[in-house]
Amino acid sequence: MLTREAESAGWTKVLAGDRSEFWRLVNPLLEELREAAQRERDYLVAVGDLHSDRVVPDELVHEVLARAWEDRHRKPDDLEVKAWLLGLMYRLLDRLVSERHQEPLSEMHLPEDADDIRDVIPDPRPTPEEIVLALEEQPQLLDRVSRRVLMLHDFHGMSQRHTGAVVGKSVRETTAILAEARRLVRAHVSR
């Protein structure tokens, strides 16, 4: 894993057109990106948003990498390469889904019976394995944004700030979404 400084220095070279540096930065992330593409595709198929033949995970990863190279100047300076690539993947999938559905994505809100965000932050967290198992067993347990927030933060290990940046939510919204997603997964696991 590269340090923040090493990644930043490498990205400066990428911005100057250094393709070998681009591959040096993204190569360690390829397997995780491919697995994330497979899980997300499987989820979208399971909930009926995509047909299984519409997206091939390896092709999705190739498209993400091609767009990342083309749009390398658009990567926010304070966003890690992994978070940015996962965000590109999610936006590509959202575009495919929206071509099929022209309805807005649902959003999670702080539960009405919660007086404070601390009321909905569960403890202990479900393990990454429990998260994946719960989401595979019951794909519709979480809406798309909640699922992505949970996977980005608890499975891929991203900060709440970076997770929020990927899904287009504030840190406060991300915290609330994460807490509710964990609560639902924990309830599913403890059944």
DSSP one-letter string for 94-118: HHHHHHH--SPPP-----TT-SSGG
Contact 155/95 with Cβ under 8 angstroms? no
Fold of the domain spanning 4-100: Rna Polymerase Sigma Factor; Chain: A (1.10.1740)
Its CATH class, for the domain covering 117-189, is mainly alpha
What's residue 100's pLDDT? 66
Contact 82/35 with Cβ under 8 angstroms? no
Domain ranges of the chain: 4-100, 117-189
The DSSP call for residue 127 is P
30-46 and 57-70 are packed helices; what angle lies between their axes, rounded to 10 degrees?
120
Establish whether the linkage from the previous residue to 128 is cis, with ω within 30° of 0.
Answer: no
Rounded (10°) CA dihedral 154, 160, 162, 166 = 80
What's residue 114's pLDDT? 44
- What tens-digit pLDDT sequence spans the chain (191 residues)? 678 888 888 999 999 888 889 999 999 999 999 999 999 999 998 888 888 777 888 888 988 998 999 899 999 988 999 999 999 999 999 988 887 653 333 333 334 544 443 343 334 578 888 888 898 999 999 999 999 999 999 989 898 899 999 999 998 899 889 989 998 998 888 87
